[in-house]
Amino acid sequence: MSVQNGSKWIEQDSAHCLHPFTNFKALNDKGSRVITRAEGIYIYDEHDNKILDGMAGLWCVNMGYNCEPLIEAATNQLKELPYYNLFFQTTHPPAVELSTLLAEVAPEGMNHVFFTGSGSECNDTVVRMVRHYWTSLGKPNKQTIISRKNAYHGSTMAGASLGGMAFMHAQGGLPLPNITHIDQPYHFGEGQGIDANEFGLERARQLEAKILELGEENVAAFIAELSKALVA
């Protein structure tokens, strides 16, 4: 990749591309890093600098780049059936086979899969699902979801509300109603001088205290960042 092309891409990026979690004045003063290719665990910029991608894309390229089995599987599927939806009482073999595999490896009792396109979309869907679940059981008051301060659950309205990042809440009238937060179990940053086990128990007890404060009859779920799993 030529440096000339890199300069063109940086200029076009500044003129047309919006970046998440970004100070645009600082970005435009500096110019974006342009990633042009990748191989294994490394990415390469417009100057062909080799960079270890410790973040794995955005924590989602766990098998590395240019993984031949993934390329082959994706290519074959694109040739056979690149896309179809699961609406209107319709399914297709990849969805059936993957959901079956996930049910086999998931903990006992977790037997159904709802496919989404991102973590943010997943957590938005979870909010609707868990509230509808309780309503279907005749408990419509169970609406409140408890999360943790400084947790990250996505950038959409519901995802950012579930997350506990104050600067995100300040950007758009968040969090949405019936989402509340307790302290994070961050011993390194907030528990210095306190026994780690005691600190963990204190943060766990905050969840119990919040449920008692809100009333169990009003609490729909607790969402924890480590597993992105919703516990009803």
Which tens digits make up the pLDDT trace of 29-61? 999 999 999 999 999 999 999 999 999 998 889
- For residue 184, give every residue at least 6 positions away whose Cβ sits within 8 Å of its Cβ, in sequence order, or none: 148, 149, 150, 151, 164, 190, 203
Task: Note the pTM of the prediction, 2 decimals.
Answer: 0.83
pLDDT at 172: 79
In the chain, the domains with their CATH numbers are 3-59 (3.90.1150.10), 83-115 (no CATH), 119-231 (3.40.640.10)
User: Residues in the chain with pLDDT < 70?
Assistant: 1-4, 226-232
pLDDT at 4: 64
pLDDT at 232: 42
pLDDT at 2: 54
pLDDT at 3: 61
